[in-house]
């Protein structure tokens, strides 16, 4: 890639939040005429430390191919087979998501777009990719808020988990 060319790098995992970030990246890229680089970061089962303890190249190949298939599926889900109107340069990268995204969006002229975060439970288990990118990136970072549908699905999941009744409809 030409080192001076501007681009928008976007983290994609297939979640609703990452698809919202992907749509925002494409919308921002259209008027600028810059490419969008959707990135799906992946790690070996058990992480890098686990893989170093018990390397298994055939398993690693399966996980890598699965990551590429997830990225392709996410792009298909996001655009339904239609042309997004900007050049897409999909990329799968081995590594932790935050570090991988910051490593790819390494030019001051880039824009890094990420989803603003998962549920409270997920944020408690894993560090925030968005926070990592904001702290470490050399380019501007746009954290796209979670879509309302994701909030609704999380609330529904909690109600089902705790077997709580649905909230009654608001009385007008």
Instruction: Please report the DSSP string for 91-159 in residue order.
Output: EEEES-HHHHHHHHS-STT-EEEEE----HHHHHHS--HHHHHHHH-SS-EEEEPPPHHHHHHHHHHHH
Greatest Cα pair distance, the chain, in angstroms, is 62
pLDDT attached to residue 1: 42
pLDDT attached to residue 81: 86
Please give the C-alpha separations between residue 77 and each of 18, 42, 99, 120, 147, in angstroms, as whole numbers.
Answer: 12, 19, 25, 25, 16
Tell me if 65 sits within 8 A of 42, measured CB to CB. Answer: no
Please say if the pLDDT value at position 164 is more than 90. no
- Average pLDDT of the segment spanning 9-30: 95
Secondary structure of residue 69 in the 3-state scheme: helix
Report the DSSP beta bridge partners of residue 92.
40
Domains of the chain: 8-147 (3.40.50.620)
- Average pLDDT of the segment spanning 127-140: 93
pTM listed for this prediction: 0.81
Taking only the tens place, the pLDDT of each residue in 33-82 is 999 999 999 999 988 898 888 888 999 999 999 999 999 999 999 999 89
**How is residue 86 written in tokens?**
């900007």
pLDDT band at 167 (very low <50, low <70, confident <90, very high): low
The two beta strands, 111-115 and 141-144, are parallel
pLDDT band at 154 (very low <50, low <70, confident <90, very high): low
pLDDT attached to residue 32: 94
pLDDT attached to residue 5: 72
């Amino acid at each position: 890639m030409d080192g001076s060319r501007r681009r928008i790098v976007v983290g994609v995992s297939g979640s609703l939040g990452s698809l919202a970030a992907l749509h925002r990246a494409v919308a921002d890229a259209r008027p600028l005429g810059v490419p969008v680089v959707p990135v799906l970061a992946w790690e070996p089962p058990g992480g890098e430390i686990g893989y170093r303890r018990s390397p298994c190249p055939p398993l690693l190949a399966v996980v890598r191919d699965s990551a590429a298939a997830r990225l392709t599926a996410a792009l298909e889900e996001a655009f339904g087979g239609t042309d997004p109107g900007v050049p897409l340069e999909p990329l799968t990268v081995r590594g932790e998501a935050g570090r991988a995204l910051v490593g790819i969006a390494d030019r001051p002229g880039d824009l890094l777009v990420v989803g603003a975060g998962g549920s409270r439970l997920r944020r408690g288990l894993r560090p925030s990719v968005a926070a990592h990118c904001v702290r470490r990136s050399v380019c501007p970072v746009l954290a796209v808020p979670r879509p309302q549908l994701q909030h609704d699905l999380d609330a529904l999941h909690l109600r089902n988990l705790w077997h709580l009744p649905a909230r009654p409809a608001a009385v007008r």
